Structure 1
């Protein structure tokens, strides 16, 4: 049985500040490429299968600066042999602005070497607020931070935004739901900080996001949170954390270790990861067409596997020695055959299972807004979100608030129902149907706290 897994995707006048001196901007290579196989070779009348084929060049990028053209065949980049798109991507991903780049190509059947400097990725710009590119030190490297700041303010309440579990950059996210959230909150008068996950965006000499565990990731976010104190425009008495999905699990841990005014958790969880995954399979799979009886039989097998993985702390490699477990790992947990589960290091999920979320909420004195959306396929438990507010109010009377948002998906898209959300889960629909209610409710809640 196939298992589904939807966890917790003209000239303007603008203000931009770059504080950081240690981080060089990542380069934008700017070439669409194709792996060369027999069919591609036939279509493009190529006489060789080596390298990769340039299909399109994006203006004002490294590729255009090198004067690459369509139908060039790239054989080497900086003396690294390019055998396929994977080696190409891994070679260019670490290029930085102004790095010298040498590309060996075949053009019209003849070998040629192109040389030039790498062009940095474009920086975010806005007519409505200032954008500050800064950095925080992390061991022997640096993490990129991006701050959006309302114009003409002296001090403002500040929000640290923490995203879900996936590894990707938060830089230049545009109409992505996270981009619309950050943009909307900044326009309402808040300073908003994004901290890149380790290894993402412009981060330099930091571990790969996909290889770090949960605690290491939280340490990176904490570096950003603590750096807010250095900015004179940050109201350090009114710092909030806004955590979405897995970020909603990380937020109270940060608040337990660092005094903040409030936490927003949206589309998140409270129970153990072991319990959540079993409930997820039971809830999601029938919605995707799985047979109820077959699904329950498979869940019985997952109970044993997940216990050994999450509770007994066995590695995926150990577990995959069992033929049935290997099948379950590959079909339902995105096991890569090494040490990644659901595209993260396997220890990441084991550490989530070890968390005591009620304890984190107890030990933090922050106000908490717990938001649940009725069409959330990933964070499907309304009861868990209500319980978060109940826990906060039990230990800190009056500080917990529960908010139910009708017909909104995990990605903040407005839909008619859960079924409609599943059918309209494509990116275009999501970015064009962002529900602004999440901004309004966040703003209303923060303002209510500030007025107390």
Structure 2
């Protein structure tokens, strides 16, 4: 049986222009290294035991890794005397780092043992072009936590239309993304076209504090944080409150109409949306998405005999993973198809996150939001499965508010805004071992910008 690999999915001449007010949040530690498991061939070449260490692929400038003078193909064996054997273990240890503290690494470098010591560096602030500025802020959360907010806007006075970028399913940070990251390319391109672009770190991510780590929270806590973020966005004195738009990427498309229901916005843009209740989407992932990724059709039929009751017991009856694994057959399917970690996590999130997500009244949310809506589907978007979800969003909006819903098809573009060709081309690339040469599709910016300008002109 094949695991599902695509579910949910993301300078020279530049001056630092960052504004921060008196804040409680401090910069988080920045390890700044891209890691991978140690391959059998590398382990053999370095004379390493099986399943030991983590390979260094890339070092980010200005990071702790650069300060420590790590090199590509170094194998990290220990972090502060704790043995590591997977990138995830290093990430978990790094979450507890504090800027300025001492870090000790035990390495294997070209077959020889090396020990290095240095200071943990803070995450650098994001930069902006000379005609823009970045403002770091913070949003109080209901549980007494604080989330990091980041606003990037054109320089100058006056009122600017604003876009709130709402990320998808994962717990990755949106703070100081690499300049070639497609999410940052989208946001920076909108700033260059005159929009103030706002983003919010999820609870337990980046500089945010006072909350459990993001993988431990439920969807309702995440939703409440984004609602608080929208409230903050509307309080900026340079934001045109009559022209605020939400951009919901992937799962963010579920969140956007929910937070707009009680805090109205001009419009909502979705990209990569499922467009249906999460329980139904899961079933389509196990049947239709697996077919896209090359699973055998007969095997899918057989697996669905187990996956359908499993989804029902998990999402409808709300059984915990521990309760589900009492069925011996379920444990195997949870591990192979749900990314079960043997504890409380499925697909990288706490199981309650998925169960709470399953309670979202998708169509009612669009009715209550009552906003102009543009639903976009990228031709190569395998996680969204097909265009039906985006078309359904537009249809629901139009059913209650004729003329307010629009659907657009973006050719050759995958779930992460990259121009990759067809869906089949994308899947082949994902399953290959060669790096992708795909680049951000600027047509997405044109599509969004043109639509928002038309909506603003009609107000």
Of 162, 169, 175 in structure 2, the residue corresponding to residue 165 of structure 1 is 169
Alignment-derived partner of residue 422 in structure 1: 427
Instruction: Give, in whole Å, the separation in 2 of the partners of 1:410 and 1:285.
Output: 16
Contact 2:62–2:124 under 8 Å retained in 1: no
Alignment-derived partner of residue 448 in structure 1: 454
Q: Which moved more, 1:30-39 or 1:280-289?
A: 30-39
Which structure 2 residue ranges, 5 or more long, are not aligned? Answer: none
Contact 2:375–2:390 under 8 Å retained in 1: yes
**Residues 1:434 and 2:448 aligned together:** no
SS in structure 2 at match of 1:227: helix
Instruction: Give, in whole Å, the separation in 1 of the partners of 2:45 and 2:298.
Output: 48
Q: How does 1:89-128 map to 2 (within 5 A)?
A: 89-97=91-99, 99-101=100-102, 103=104, 117-127=119-129, 128=131
Q: How does 1:170-181 map to 2 (within 5 A)?
A: 170-173=174-177, 174-181=179-186
**Displacement, 1:156?**
0.5
Change (3 A) 1:52 1:269: closer
Alignment-derived partner of residue 18 in structure 1: 20
**Displacement, 1:19?**
2.8
Q: Deviations over 1:108-162 (max 9, x none)?
A: 9999995x65321222112242111111122333211111101224211111111
Of 340, 348, 365 in structure 2, the residue corresponding to residue 343 of structure 1 is 348
Contact 1:130–1:148 under 8 Å retained in 2: yes
Contact 1:35–1:84 under 8 Å retained in 2: no
SS in structure 1 at match of 2:424: helix
Contact 2:420–2:438 under 8 Å retained in 1: no
Contact 1:51–1:82 under 8 Å retained in 2: no
Off by >6 Å, runs of 4+ in structure 1: 31-46, 49-59, 66-76, 104-113, 426-431
Alignment-derived partner of residue 3 in structure 1: 3
SS in structure 1 at match of 2:313: helix
SS in structure 1 at match of 2:254: helix
Change (3 A) 1:213 1:154: same
Alignment-derived partner of residue 187 in structure 1: 192
Alignment-derived partner of residue 305 in structure 2: 300
**Displacement, 1:87?**
5.8
Q: Which moved more, 1:374-383 or 1:195-204?
A: 374-383
**Residues 1:130 and 2:144 aligned together:** no
Q: Deviations over 1:178-225 (max 9, x none)?
A: 111111111111111110111111112222111111111111111211
Give the TM-score taking structure 2 as reference length.
Answer: 0.85
**Residues 1:83 and 2:83 aligned together:** yes
Which structure 1 residue ranges, 5 or more long, are not aligned? Answer: none
Q: Which has the larger radius of gyration?
A: 1
Give the TM-score taking structure 1 as reference length.
Answer: 0.87
Instruction: Give, in whole Å, the separation in 2 of the partners of 1:7 and 1:307.
Output: 19
Query: What is the aligned-residue RMSD (CA, Å)?
Result: 3.5
Q: Which moved more, 1:407-416 or 1:129-138?
A: 407-416
Contact 2:268–2:374 under 8 Å retained in 1: yes
Q: Deviations over 1:205-258 (max 9, x none)?
A: 222111111111111111211111332111122111100111111111111121
**Displacement, 1:53?**
10
Instruction: Give, in whole Å, the separation in 1 of the partners of 2:115 and 2:405.
Output: 65
Alignment-derived partner of residue 212 in structure 2: 207
**Residues 1:225 and 2:230 aligned together:** yes
**Aligned residues between the structures:** 446
Change (3 A) 1:34 1:161: closer
**Displacement, 1:360?**
0.8
